[in-house]
Amino acid sequence: MHKNEGYLGNINVKRSGVQTEWTEEQILEYKKCMENPVHFIENYIQIISLDEGLVPFKLRGYQDDLITHFDESRFSIVLACRQSGKSITTCAYLVWYLLFQPEQTIAILANKGSTAREMLARITTMLEHVPFFLQPGTKTLNKGSIEFENDSRIIASATGANSIRGLSVNLLYLDEFAFVDNAEQFYTSTYPVVTSGGKSKVIITSTANGIGNMYHKLYEGAQNQKNEYQPYTINWWDVPGRDEVWKKQTIANTSELQFEQEFGNSFLGTGNTLISANCLLGLQGHDALWTRENVHLYQEPQKDSQYIMTVDVARGRGQDYSTFSIFDVSTKPFRQVGIYRDNMISPLLFPDIINRFATMYNEALVVVENNDQGQIVCNSLHYDIEYPNVFTQSSVKSSGIGVTMTRKVKQIGCSTLKELMEENKLRVIDKFTINELVTFVGKGISFEADGGNHDDLVMNLVLFSWFVTTPFFQSLTDLELKKLLYDEQQQLIDDDMVPFGIIDDGTPTVETYKQGGDVWTVVNDDVDIY
């Protein structure tokens, strides 16, 4: 190599226009590298080791498989434990792709621009140690992009709405995608651009970062064969030197929860969600039986069933959503059977939609949060449309129609919702609602949607959960919530109960029971659990 053959003084990077005379041996080697990325990487890629400095990249078994996985899959999604080398392995594959696939554009997008540029710097280091006969000439090399003489190029940027706008991308690499803010919005706008070509590729890698985010959805979908992605998992025990002793030491220095999140590939919640992570992980979203625009129905109205609809009202300006959720309260557990969700509907038009579907579900009792715009909906339903079954707290006060979401109401609702769901007394099956639940987290002394997310459907659940604690609900359904939540524990000691007695559940209330055949019925049902 000659000094004048290097790119802008970098003698390790071949500049554009340099003519190379190849030996027959080099031609054969070039062909071998072009056909086999693993061979190329193991023989020509060098990386910087923290302990040893610049060293040849010796692929671990799972890294070898991962390279093959990338090469054979058009859409790849990787779940990897921390410090498994997923990023450096991907960078090595991208170097091979750039050198041997002409006229390709690669985009590296990460949660931070600095992270993306760091990965491009790794690629540059790898390129600098590839022999000249394997390098295409370099036309451009800077902190944000590299362009080669074979008309292939690579750019690095943070994920954002304009990251790849106007570009024709052949391979999109999304690093640590579980940590990207507004990932769903970004992915929705980016995916059609990348996949417009029939041979374009997408590679997504990340460690786990809670459930409900876009990365979690895509990975779970891949695992269940519900999308185009091919999943690949790197577990902590795949990494040499990690055994049970290492695991115990790591947990001792951190925590079991942190270990599971960082190394165990567990999609745990933030640890601050209202509903426990185990419960959230067990939720399964169902496909709607009937969908029209913003209405999703999961069960047809049943002739003898009793339904409650809870309503949250927004301004209809494209921000928060106006929502309602329909619940079947005829049997236990209670079951979510339908939802509505729209952030553009006017509060003036919303009552007509509520009336239509509440009427469909056996004139369901409609419980409306009457804060702000909710009062408009309450008044329209009650006075204008004259819907016969709107919950009214007071017939004296003008604000008595519906429910005012005070701090106390929300506290009771959140507490009861947690109990209902974790005790499997309420079945939530709507995907939009589940997505909101996983980002409904503690903020101070209350709970609300985590940054950039919504909680409008969750507030339907909170309002419903508050309502089932009221005496009105007990009289409406003849179901006693306190006993409902106590049933499973009570069943464990039923065999030891005498036919007549007193049950003390720790409250001042005394409930007396008598035996009627094989059924125990409440004699003294004056319990107020509000």
pTM (two decimals): 0.63
Predicted confidence at residue 3, as pLDDT, reads 53
Provide the phi-psi class of 368: left if phi over 0, else alpha when psi is between -120 and 50, else beta: beta
| C-alpha count within 13 angstroms, C-beta hemisphere, residue 17 | 7
Please answer whether residues 90 and 173 qualify as being in contact, where contact means their C-beta atoms are separated by less than 8 angstroms.
yes
Could you report the per-residue pLDDT of 430-483, keeping only the tens digit for each?
A: 999 998 998 888 888 899 987 778 999 999 999 999 999 998 898 776 655 545
Sorted by where each begins, the domain ranges of the chain are: 3-234, 290-474, 493-522
The strand pairing partners of 230, in sequence order, are 76
Provide the phi-psi class of 399: left if phi over 0, else alpha when psi is between -120 and 50, else beta: alpha
Phi/psi for 244 (5° steps) reads: -65, -35
Assess whether the region 3-234 and the region 290-474 belong to the same CATH fold.
Answer: no
Q: Does the domain at residues 290-474 carry the CATH identifier 3.30.450.70?
A: no
Predicted confidence at residue 103, as pLDDT, reads 93
Could you report the per-residue pLDDT of 46-87, keeping only the tens digit for each?
A: 998 877 888 999 999 999 999 999 999 999 999 999 999 999
Predicted confidence at residue 159, as pLDDT, reads 80
Catalytic residue among 29, 118, 147, 176: 176
Q: From start to end of 35-103, where are the E strands?
A: 46-49, 53-56, 75-80
As a residue count, the chain comes to: 530
The tens place of each residue's pLDDT in the chain, 530 residues long, gives 455 678 888 888 888 888 878 899 999 999 999 999 999 999 999 998 877 888 999 999 999 999 999 999 999 999 999 999 999 999 999 999 999 999 999 999 888 888 889 999 999 999 999 999 999 999 999 988 999 999 999 999 888 756 666 678 899 999 999 888 778 878 887 877 777 777 889 999 999 887 777 898 899 899 999 999 999 999 999 999 999 999 999 988 877 767 887 898 887 665 578 998 778 877 888 999 999 989 999 999 999 999 999 999 998 888 899 999 999 999 999 999 999 999 999 999 999 999 999 999 999 999 999 998 999 999 999 999 999 999 987 655 556 799 999 999 999 999 999 999 999 999 999 999 998 998 888 888 899 987 778 999 999 999 999 999 998 898 776 655 545 555 544 554 454 444 433 344 444 443 333 333 343 333 334 433 33
Gyration radius from the chain CA atoms? 30
Could you report the per-residue pLDDT of 299-319, keeping only the tens digit for each?
A: 999 999 999 999 999 988 888
Predicted confidence at residue 497, as pLDDT, reads 45
Tokens of 132: 């000249």
CA 279/CA 212 separation, integer angstroms: 13
CA 408/CA 414 separation, integer angstroms: 10
- CB within 8 A of 429, min separation 6: which ones? 283, 284, 285, 286, 298, 335, 336
Helices (H), 343-470: 350-360, 374-379, 407-422, 431-437, 456-467
Fold of 3-234: Rossmann fold (3.40.50)
- CB within 8 A of 180, min separation 6: which ones? 110, 111, 159, 174, 186, 214, 215
CA 384/CA 386 separation, integer angstroms: 5
CA 183/CA 86 separation, integer angstroms: 20
Q: Tell me how far the alpha carbon of residue 424 is from its chain's centroid.
A: 22
Predicted confidence at residue 270, as pLDDT, reads 58
From residue 127, give the alpha-carbon distance in Å to each of 12, 17, 53, 57, 131. 8, 17, 16, 13, 9
Residue 72 is a catalytic residue: no
